[in-house]
Amino acid sequence: MFIHCIWISPNKHKEKGYGSLLVKECIKDARKQDKYGVAVVTSQGPFMAGKALFLKNDFNSIAKSKPSYELMIRTIKSGLLPKFRDWEKQLSKYQGLNIIYTNQCPWVTRSIKELSEIAREKSLKLKLTELKNSRQAQDAPSVYTVFKLIYNGKLLVAIIFPAEDF
Protein backbone atom coordinates (compact mmCIF):
# COMPACT_ATOMS: atom_id res chain seq x y z
CA MET A 1 0.00 0.00 0.00
CA PHE A 2 1.24 3.48 -0.76
CA ILE A 3 0.49 6.64 1.21
CA HIS A 4 0.22 9.27 -1.46
CA CYS A 5 -0.76 12.26 0.63
CA ILE A 6 -1.18 13.01 4.29
CA TRP A 7 -2.21 16.46 5.38
CA ILE A 8 -3.24 17.88 8.73
CA SER A 9 -4.92 21.26 8.44
CA PRO A 10 -5.11 23.86 9.80
CA ASN A 11 -1.69 24.03 11.41
CA LYS A 12 -3.14 24.38 14.91
CA HIS A 13 -4.07 20.67 14.67
CA LYS A 14 -0.52 19.53 13.93
CA GLU A 15 1.71 17.86 16.53
CA LYS A 16 -1.31 16.35 18.30
CA GLY A 17 -0.91 12.77 17.10
CA TYR A 18 -3.46 12.90 14.28
CA GLY A 19 -0.85 12.07 11.65
CA SER A 20 0.20 8.97 13.57
CA LEU A 21 -3.45 7.92 13.88
CA LEU A 22 -3.83 8.18 10.10
CA VAL A 23 -0.63 6.24 9.46
CA LYS A 24 -1.70 3.50 11.90
CA GLU A 25 -5.04 3.19 10.06
CA CYS A 26 -3.14 2.75 6.78
CA ILE A 27 -1.04 0.01 8.35
CA LYS A 28 -4.21 -1.68 9.64
CA ASP A 29 -5.79 -1.49 6.18
CA ALA A 30 -2.64 -2.93 4.59
CA ARG A 31 -2.74 -5.87 7.01
CA LYS A 32 -6.43 -6.51 6.26
CA GLN A 33 -5.65 -6.47 2.53
CA ASP A 34 -2.69 -8.83 3.01
CA LYS A 35 -0.18 -6.29 1.63
CA TYR A 36 3.59 -6.61 2.08
CA GLY A 37 3.68 -3.27 3.84
CA VAL A 38 3.14 0.45 3.50
CA ALA A 39 5.37 2.82 1.53
CA VAL A 40 5.62 6.59 1.30
CA VAL A 41 7.86 9.12 -0.43
CA THR A 42 8.96 11.91 1.89
CA SER A 43 10.79 15.14 1.16
CA GLN A 44 12.37 18.04 2.95
CA GLY A 45 10.47 20.48 0.73
CA PRO A 46 6.98 21.90 1.17
CA PHE A 47 3.78 20.06 0.30
CA MET A 48 5.20 16.61 0.96
CA ALA A 49 5.33 14.64 4.14
CA GLY A 50 8.49 14.91 6.17
CA LYS A 51 10.08 11.71 7.37
CA ALA A 52 9.76 12.40 11.12
CA LEU A 53 6.14 11.21 11.23
CA PHE A 54 7.07 7.94 9.56
CA LEU A 55 10.17 7.34 11.67
CA LYS A 56 7.88 7.69 14.74
CA ASN A 57 5.73 4.94 13.23
CA ASP A 58 8.55 2.45 12.58
CA PHE A 59 9.14 3.15 8.90
CA ASN A 60 12.64 2.67 7.48
CA SER A 61 14.34 4.54 4.67
CA ILE A 62 15.27 2.24 1.78
CA ALA A 63 16.16 4.67 -1.04
CA LYS A 64 16.94 8.31 -1.75
CA SER A 65 16.69 10.43 -4.88
CA LYS A 66 17.57 14.02 -5.56
CA PRO A 67 16.81 16.65 -4.58
CA SER A 68 15.49 15.38 -1.22
CA TYR A 69 13.14 12.46 -1.84
CA GLU A 70 13.25 9.46 0.45
CA LEU A 71 11.39 6.17 -0.03
CA MET A 72 10.29 4.81 3.34
CA ILE A 73 8.55 1.56 4.15
CA ARG A 74 6.88 -0.19 7.04
CA THR A 75 7.17 -3.91 6.35
CA ILE A 76 4.32 -6.21 7.33
CA LYS A 77 5.54 -9.42 5.69
CA SER A 78 8.43 -10.49 3.46
CA GLY A 79 8.21 -9.68 -0.22
CA LEU A 80 9.56 -7.48 -2.97
CA LEU A 81 10.53 -4.03 -1.84
CA PRO A 82 9.48 -0.92 -3.76
CA LYS A 83 12.20 1.11 -5.45
CA PHE A 84 12.76 4.33 -7.33
CA ARG A 85 13.04 3.98 -11.07
CA ASP A 86 15.52 5.95 -13.16
CA TRP A 87 13.16 8.88 -13.68
CA GLU A 88 15.86 11.23 -14.98
CA LYS A 89 16.22 9.35 -18.25
CA GLN A 90 12.54 10.14 -18.94
CA LEU A 91 13.14 13.91 -18.88
CA SER A 92 14.61 14.15 -22.39
CA LYS A 93 11.26 13.04 -23.86
CA TYR A 94 9.74 16.37 -22.80
CA GLN A 95 10.85 19.23 -25.01
CA GLY A 96 9.34 22.70 -24.78
CA LEU A 97 7.26 23.66 -21.75
CA ASN A 98 5.40 20.72 -20.21
CA ILE A 99 3.21 20.00 -17.23
CA ILE A 100 2.95 16.33 -16.36
CA TYR A 101 0.38 15.60 -13.69
CA THR A 102 -2.01 13.15 -12.08
CA ASN A 103 -5.51 14.06 -11.05
CA GLN A 104 -4.96 13.07 -7.41
CA CYS A 105 -4.92 16.42 -5.67
CA PRO A 106 -7.46 19.25 -5.82
CA TRP A 107 -4.66 21.84 -5.89
CA VAL A 108 -3.35 20.51 -9.21
CA THR A 109 -6.36 21.68 -11.23
CA ARG A 110 -6.02 25.19 -9.86
CA SER A 111 -2.27 25.32 -10.49
CA ILE A 112 -2.69 24.07 -14.06
CA LYS A 113 -5.36 26.68 -14.73
CA GLU A 114 -3.18 29.50 -13.35
CA LEU A 115 -0.05 28.39 -15.20
CA SER A 116 -2.00 27.90 -18.45
CA GLU A 117 -3.27 31.47 -18.20
CA ILE A 118 0.27 32.79 -17.60
CA ALA A 119 1.60 30.78 -20.55
CA ARG A 120 -1.16 32.16 -22.79
CA GLU A 121 -0.44 35.74 -21.68
CA LYS A 122 3.27 35.24 -22.43
CA SER A 123 2.54 33.48 -25.77
CA LEU A 124 4.20 30.29 -24.53
CA LYS A 125 3.13 26.92 -25.84
CA LEU A 126 2.33 24.70 -22.83
CA LYS A 127 1.76 20.98 -23.27
CA LEU A 128 -0.30 19.19 -20.61
CA THR A 129 0.11 15.45 -20.05
CA GLU A 130 -2.08 13.62 -17.57
CA LEU A 131 -0.76 10.35 -16.16
CA LYS A 132 -3.85 8.15 -15.99
CA ASN A 133 -2.62 4.82 -14.65
CA SER A 134 0.00 3.32 -12.38
CA ARG A 135 2.31 2.27 -15.26
CA GLN A 136 2.44 5.84 -16.59
CA ALA A 137 3.09 7.16 -13.08
CA GLN A 138 5.89 4.64 -12.53
CA ASP A 139 7.52 5.76 -15.78
CA ALA A 140 7.10 9.46 -14.97
CA PRO A 141 9.97 11.95 -15.24
CA SER A 142 10.07 12.55 -11.48
CA VAL A 143 9.77 10.64 -8.23
CA TYR A 144 6.81 12.81 -7.35
CA THR A 145 4.05 12.15 -9.88
CA VAL A 146 1.33 14.61 -8.88
CA PHE A 147 2.74 17.67 -10.66
CA LYS A 148 5.87 18.47 -12.64
CA LEU A 149 6.90 21.44 -14.73
CA ILE A 150 9.55 20.51 -17.31
CA TYR A 151 11.31 22.72 -19.84
CA ASN A 152 13.44 21.18 -22.59
CA GLY A 153 14.21 18.05 -20.61
CA LYS A 154 14.93 19.84 -17.34
CA LEU A 155 12.75 19.39 -14.28
CA LEU A 156 11.96 22.89 -13.02
CA VAL A 157 9.34 22.11 -10.38
CA ALA A 158 8.03 18.87 -8.95
CA ILE A 159 5.09 20.48 -7.16
CA ILE A 160 3.62 23.96 -7.04
CA PHE A 161 0.55 25.42 -5.42
CA PRO A 162 -0.76 28.95 -5.01
CA ALA A 163 1.15 30.63 -2.19
CA GLU A 164 -1.85 32.58 -0.92
CA ASP A 165 -3.43 29.36 0.30
CA PHE A 166 -0.73 28.67 2.87
Q: How far is CA 93 from CA 29, 43, 134, 139, 155, in A?
A: 37, 25, 19, 12, 12
C-alpha span between 53 and 150 (Å, rounded) = 30
- The confidence band for 162, taking pLDDT boundaries of 50, 70 and 90, is very low
Three-state secondary structure along 43-97?
A: CCCCCCCCCHHHHHCCCEEEEEECCCEEEEEEECCCCCCCCCCCHHHHHHHCCCE
> pLDDT tens-digit profile of 151-160?
999 988 776 4
The continuous run of DSSP H or E covering 113 comes out as: helix 106-121
* CB neighbour list of residue 21: distance below 8 Å, 6 or more residues apart: none
Decide: helix, strand or coil at residue 126. Answer: strand
Model's pTM, two decimal places? 0.79
Whether residue 162 has a cis bond before it, omega within 30° of 0: no
117 burial via Cβ count (<10 Å: 0-12, 13-18, 19+): exposed
User: What pLDDT band is residue 163 in, cutting at 50, 70 and 90?
Assistant: very low
Q: What's the CA gap between 60 and 66, in Å, rounded?
A: 18
pLDDT reported for residue 46: 64
pLDDT tens for residues 52-89? 999 999 999 999 988 888 999 999 999 989 888 888 88
Q: Sketch out the chain's domains with CATH numbers.
A: 2-75 (3.40.630.30), 87-165 (3.40.30)
Give the C-alpha separation, 57 to 75, whole Å.
Answer: 11
